[in-house]
Amino acid sequence: MTVWIHRIRSWAWSIGIAFFLSLLISTFVLQPTRVLGHSMEPTLKDHSRILIAKWTRSLGEEPAYGDIVVIDSRIERKRSLLDDLSDYPLFQWIAGSGSSDVFWVKRVVGKAGDVIEIRDHHVYRNGIELNEPYLKEQMATSSQGQTITVPEGYIYVMGDNRNHSKDSRAIGVVPIGHIMGKKL
């Protein structure tokens, strides 16, 4: 009987260490995720699987122009370490949480200090039209004439399928702390 108790403890210890390591890696280093929706087409398809580098967030790195990032779209609230831990897929599965719809995959178009302007079906950054060969189609005029200066500590993001993307045009600029990671 004591042999079985020893084996069970050994297995429990191994499973506990594996769980803890996977939690750390998924929260601070790398995390696989799935693209939900068509807002990044043609670059990323609906239900595509991507790997995001979370160490960029952990180290406080700011994304570059054109980087594809995963953001937490709930910009009206401040994120905490508890949010990072509760976003762990196993915890969401146990809680039956459907919060994955708040995480959006978008492209970085503007950074702090940039003036983003949408006119003539194109995006301009600091007065210069962006060359965006990755776009699915020409942008409709619904956001025509929109101009915004990106404040310090924020980014401006847009989907590649501009006519079917909920992005900074709808929610505004995104705090750097809401960047979950960068697509590898």
Q: Which residues are annotated as catalytic?
A: 39, 106
How many Cα atoms are found within 13 Å in the side-chain-facing hemisphere of 12? Answer: 6
CA separation for the pair 49, 32 (Å, rounded): 7
Q: DSSP character for 167? A: S
